[in-house]
Amino acid sequence: MYAAIWRFLPGPLWVRIITVVVLVAAVLAALVFWVFPLVNELFVPPEVTVGE
């Protein structure tokens, strides 16, 4: 899969490397700022306060 993506990328080696870096950065940003906060909502935090 990743090999296929690598072959799919156009340009000489350095262009491909830059493209990969940009793609990885975009994926990481999407995870950190969008996916992870959404996933975090699915976990119910433990109730840490005791009753009155």
Partner 1 sequence: MTDIEPAPLTPATPESAPAELRRPRRQKATVLGVLGELCITGGVVVLLFLGWQVWLNDLIVGAEQTSAANALAEQWDNQAAASATASPTPDATEAPDETPAAPPAPVDPGEPVVAAPPAASVSFANLIIPRLGADYRRPIAEGIGSNVLNNRKTGVGHYPQTQMPGAVGNFAVAAHRTTYGAGFHDINTLLVGDSIYVETADGWYKYVYRGTEYVRPTGVGVLDPVPQVAGVASTDRVITMTSCHPYYSSAERIIAYGVFETWYPRAGGPPAEIAPLVQAGAN
38 binds partner 1 (CB under 8 A): no
**In the complex, what is the shortest distance from the CB of residue 35 to partner 1, in angstroms, rounded to a whole number?**
8
Percent helix, percent strand, percent coil in the chain, to nearest 5: 70, 0, 30
Assess contact for 19 and 11: CB atoms under 8 A: yes
Enter the DSSP assignment of 9. Answer: S
Per-residue binding letters, 2-31, with partner 1 (x by CB under 8 A): xxx--x----xxx-------------x--x
**In the complex, what is the shortest distance from the CB of residue 22 to partner 1, in angstroms, rounded to a whole number?**
18
